[in-house]
Copies of this chain bind each other. A is one copy, B any other.
Amino acid sequence: MRISDLSRLSGVPITTIKYYLREGLLPPGTPTAHNQAVYDDDHLRRLRLIRALVSVRGLSVNATAELLEALSRDDGDLHRTLGLVLGALPVGEHPAGDQPAGDTVPRARLEEAEKLIEALGWRIHRRSEGRLALARALYEMAEVGLPLRVETLVPYARLTERIAALDLDQLAGDEDDHIDIAERAVLTTILLEPVLLLLRRMAQENESASRHGTGEEPR
């Protein structure tokens, strides 16, 4: 398949595909002549993945490149792969350590994050991005006037445990070979995020309707 086919099948403009090639998001096709190359279904699949990460989840092209690079070093070990995926991912809008952290996140918040993890009994890798990111998130909530206490967070965390269990079931089951495990890990973790947030919002609307008195006309 040539680049125009790739473009036609994916809906991504040729120039954009070239751009992704240049940026290393997409591996080069196998060359057939000095300036000709062919692409295969892997390229198509990869391209769709890129578009999903970039346009659905809003990952930056750079972050996507890093993530895909980590994925390509995958050795089939689910636990390791998941670690890679989780580690390579920005959560909020912190475009790669914009500040030396020592100043932005006071030690007190870091300790609070540790305390939460300990209270939950979770085993999280010492150097996991999550610890710092969590501390930062807690710090920001406190800054804006809504400090979150450990007692408040624990019930939330318990529910996320069960979500995570569902996630891993998803990953473990469904041994259809056409998508490899690493890619499924990415999809399940990252692309499910907006779905979960949406479900939460709708559940809030529903819960609010229930509590507020059911007289509310759906109309």
Using a CB–CB cutoff of 8 Å, the interface residues on chain A facing chain B are 45, 48-49, 51-52, 55-58, 78-79, 82-83, 86, 89, 91-93, 117, 120, 122-126, 128, 130, 133-134, 137-138, 140-141, 143-146, 148, 152-153, 155-157, 159-168, 170, 172, 178-179, 184, 187-189, 191-212, 216, 218-219
Whether the pair A200, B208 counts as a contact (CB closer than 8 A) is: no
Please determine whether A56 and B92 come into contact, CB atoms closer than 8 angstroms.
Answer: yes
With A144-B52, A198-B91, A211-B168: A157-B125 Cβ-Cβ less than 8 Å: no
B125 touches A204 (CB 8 A): no
Structural contact, A218 and B123, CB atoms closer than 8 A: yes
- 9 additional contacts (CB under 8 A) given A123-B209, A160-B202, A196-B200: A45-B145, A49-B144, A123-B210, A138-B195, A156-B195, A160-B203, A164-B203, A168-B204, A189-B204
A145, A166, A172, A189 — most chain B CB neighbours (10 Å): A145
How far is B143's CA from A138's CA once the two chains are assembled, in angstroms? 35
- Select which of B86, B179, B210 is within 8 A of A201 by beta carbon: B86
| CB atoms of B91 and A206 under 8 A apart | no
Distance (whole angstroms) from the CB of A50 to the closest CB of chain B: 10
Return A217 CB to nearest CB of chain B, in Å: 10
Q: List residues of chain B with CB within 8 A of the CB of A164.
A: 200, 203-204, 206-207
Given the interface pairs A57-B92, A168-B207, A197-B193, the reply to whether A156 lies near B163 with Cβ below 8 Å is yes
Report A121 CB to chain B, min CB distance, Å: 8
Q: Which of B82, B144, B216 contacts A204 (CB 8 A)?
A: B82
A51 → chain B closest CB, angstroms: 8
Within the complex, the shortest CB–CB distance from A178 to chain B, in Å, comes to 7
Q: Which residues of B contact A200 (CB under 8 A)?
A: 160, 163-164, 167, 193, 196
Which chain B residue lies CB-closest to A77? B212
**Contacts of A93 on B, CB cut-off 8 Å?**
55-58
Residue of B nearest to A203 (CB): B164
Contacts known (A86-B201, A164-B203, A203-B164); A79 close to B159, Cβ less than 8 A: no
